[in-house]
Copies of this chain bind each other. A is one copy, B any other.
Amino acid sequence: MAADTRDRIVFSAMTLFATKGFASTSIADILAAANVNSGSLYHFFPGKQDVLVAVLEAYRDGIHPQLLDPAWKGVRDPIERVFALLRHYRRHLRTTECTYGCPIGSIALELHEPDPAVRQLLSANFKGWIDAIEQCLLDAGDRLPADLDRRALATLALSTMEGGVMLSRTDRTLTGFDDAVRMFRDYVSRLEESVTPPRRARRARVARA
């Protein structure tokens, strides 16, 4: 029962924080969702903040099984994996009517003076994401220019996603997300083409009006 209770708390908090945000989620909400009494929660966690820490640790440690493996199912091409991941977020937006986007991003902007532990974990989560995409871009080898800063490109991928999610959640339309991703894809295509001189078009051009 012990580990089970703790897990239920973390899982419920994960869902609630993603849905309602951290501040707007009350301990009572978590208790109800996890079917737990307040004393049990405070047996495992000194306070609400520490629940958040556990949630962020779970995201950080679960990036492969929870995020990347599903997003990359059946996709082997390293560059396609970048866009498969973006498609994964698009699916989330679509199935939640543009309500639920990136839980880490929401929390990152919601907390204005986060305590160090929380900030570091947010940082670690972003780092994990960027690391994974950077690895894809490194795996793409000479399909991309040799002198390309692949970590910076991975950072732009994250920005594209987070910015697109922000826009789409606000407009309740996918167009903001789609526009941003389409242009990012055009950029990557151009990078690819710049290394393979354009014999014919290597891939259907996507980003034009």
Chain A interface residues (CB < 8 Å from chain B): 19-21, 23-24, 99, 105-106, 108-113, 119, 122-123, 126, 145, 147-153, 155-156, 158-164, 166-167, 169-172, 176, 179-180, 182-184, 187, 190-191, 194, 207-209
**CA–CA, A171 and B176, complex, Å:** 26
**CA–CA, A159 and B102, complex, Å:** 14
**CA–CA, A184 and B157, complex, Å:** 10
Indicate if the CB atoms of B176 and A155 lie closer than 8 Å: yes
Q: How many copies does the complex hold?
A: 2
Chain A interface, >50% SS class: helix
Indicate if the CB atoms of B152 and A159 lie closer than 8 Å: no
> Which single member of B105, B145, B161, B171 contacts A126 (CB below 8 Å)?
B171
B residues within 8 A CB of A170?
108, 119, 122-123, 126
Q: Knowing A105-B109, A109-B109, A190-B187, say if A208 contacts B148 (CB, 8 Å).
A: yes
**CA–CA, A208 and B163, complex, Å:** 23
Give 14 CB contacts A-B under 8 Å. A106-B112, A108-B166, A109-B166, A148-B207, A148-B208, A152-B209, A156-B160, A156-B184, A159-B164, A159-B166, A159-B180, A161-B163, A162-B163, A183-B187
Indicate if the CB atoms of B20 and A113 lie closer than 8 Å: yes
Q: Min CB distance, A26 to chain B, in Å?
A: 12
> Which single member of B19, B112, B182 contacts A19 (CB below 8 Å)?
B112
**CA–CA, A112 and B97, complex, Å:** 12
Query: Which 6 A/B pairs are nearest by Cβ-Cβ distance?
Result: A159-B163, A152-B179, A147-B208, A155-B179, A156-B183, A149-B209
Nearest opposing residue in chain B for A171, CB measure: B123
**CA–CA, A164 and B182, complex, Å:** 18
Max count, chain B CB within 10 A of own CB: residue among A149, A159, A161, A182: A159
B residues within 8 A CB of A163?
156, 158-163
Indicate if the CB atoms of B159 and A24 lie closer than 8 Å: no
**CA–CA, A170 and B20, complex, Å:** 20
